[in-house]
Amino acid sequence: MLLQISKSPRFDKKLRSKIWPEMMMDEDNHEPDFPLHLISRSMLLDTISRNSDIKTIKKKPTIDDFEYFHKAIGPIIEIANIFGIFPIYGSRSPSPSMLSFKMRSFKSYYAIAVCVILGIFSFISIVHMMTVLQSSVLSLQEGISAATAGAVFYSDSFIGAVIFYFLSPKWTKLQQEWRLMEQQLDSYKENNSTCPPLRRKFTIITFIVLFFAIIEHIMSLIVNCTQIDGQSSSSNMTFERYIEAYTVKSHGFIISIDYSLGLGIVCFIASKFATFIWNFTDLFLILVSTGIAERYKYLNKNVLSSIENKKFDFNWLDLREKYAMLSSLVKEVDSVLAPVIVLSFFNNLYFICLQLLNGLSSNEKTAFDILYLFGSFIFLVGRTVAVTLSAARIYDQSRMVLPAIFNCPASSYNIETERLQHQLSTDEIALTGMKFFSITRNFMLAVAGAIVTYEVVLLQFNASMKS
């Protein structure tokens, strides 16, 4: 019995090539005049039994498909969406082309509402700061810390929320360029190398940063739960009493108006949103920097592996274009994230100095208060160092392959090799703070020196204002 199956839409060319690959093409790579419509049932069943994996014609996702940057950072962006950051859709989609920013959408309106609330808190805290700095009651407070902490904290959070909102449409385009770069680099593989395991790295980094951020914030909540009369509130504490104690102590700039439970709850929730933005800014920079640095490391590993095996028969033009593509992406990322970088370092610099100032000039504080101040100081320093070193890796990795290229033998040296050397030697590939500074390892020493200088000035200024 013969079956006429070639006319069936289910029995397409791909399926036929899967069953009879030797019959699909002749010597000239053309389909032969084989009467595929005359196939016996026994022939069909026998072939299918010998090709039991026929149902897997459709390509399944590989491990590499889940390791590219868009898929790795998607879950973290979804967490940020909860707090009104990055109001974009499709962060967990298979392709960056499915990312979208919709001005008229729930996420967009939600992000705007967060910006408005933080903006109101920022305005009130700035007015309070100006009033306190011009008054004579500063000596009765805790010095410059009480006057400026709220203003800087909420202003930075408000600016961060606004920056991330306007960053969203740019991010969708940037991710498409990023994915194109990854596809081009994935075509260059030596020794069966695999893509960088970004998912695991991002998960570990996010867990570490958020874990210590939660610990630091819990300590802050405990420190700020002292009752209004100064007594400990650890016993017989109701929710209403705790909210009042927390609001009065941590949001003194707000309580120039009559306190109410509703106001206390709003202050409590707003502080959580501001705290998340404060931590997410640094986390986001660490993840982006890691994603770029790992791509440089991946390309360098392939090149160095070939050179170690005495394989210098590179397509130097193709290799130079891949490094140029990475360099172009770094510059694009730098132009998009420059405001975030400036905000991050300004924020960290201020709060490092503030927490150290509070710890060194603390009077009548409990042991737990001092533990919190220095614990918060260590956390801030660690977070700043992590941001700096992560971003500095981009500069380090971009030049790592240079010594190996300089040792290229004359037989393999050509004009494209020379152009690649010149490109890697002269092009400063690094993230910058709006071109004011470049983030390298040397920059970390400059930041440390600035912290020491500002701390000495703050200690003297704080003492003079309280005397």
Name residues whose C-beta falls within 8 Å of residue 300's C-beta, 6 or more positions apart in sequence: 397, 400, 401
Residue in 227, 259, 231 with CA at minimum distance from that of residue 242: 227
Residue written as tokens 């959580």?
Answer: 272
Contact 307, 398 (CB under 8 A): no
Which of 407, 427, 403, 423 lies closest to 415 in space, CA to CA? 423
pLDDT in tens, 38-50: 455 555 445 544 5
Query: Could you tell me where the DSSP H helices lie in 187-315?
Result: 198-223, 239-250, 261-308
User: Which whole-number Å values give the CA distances from 82 to 2, 111, 177, 361, in the listed order?
Assistant: 61, 9, 26, 38
Residue pointed to by tokens 């020491």? 452
Averaged pLDDT, 357-369: 74
> Distance from first CA to last CA of the chain, Å, rounded?
107
Contact status, residue 199 vs residue 67, Cβ threshold 8 Å: yes
pLDDT, tens only, 273-323: 999 999 999 999 999 999 999 999 988 888 887 777 667 667 788 888 889
- Beta strand pairing call for 39-40 and 2-3: antiparallel
pLDDT tens for each residue of 120-152: 999 988 888 888 777 655 544 456 677 788 888
Taking each helix axis from N to C end, the angle separating 261-308 and 69-82, rounded to the nearest 10 degrees, works out to: 170
Q: Output b/e per residue, 87-125; b: 16+ Cβ within 10 A.
A: bbbbbeeeebeebebeeeeebbeebbebbebbbebbebb
Q: Which residue would you say has higher pLDDT here, 234 or 73? A: 73
Residue 438 DSSP SS3? strand
Task: Please give the Cα distance from 57 to 41 (Å, whole number).
Answer: 21
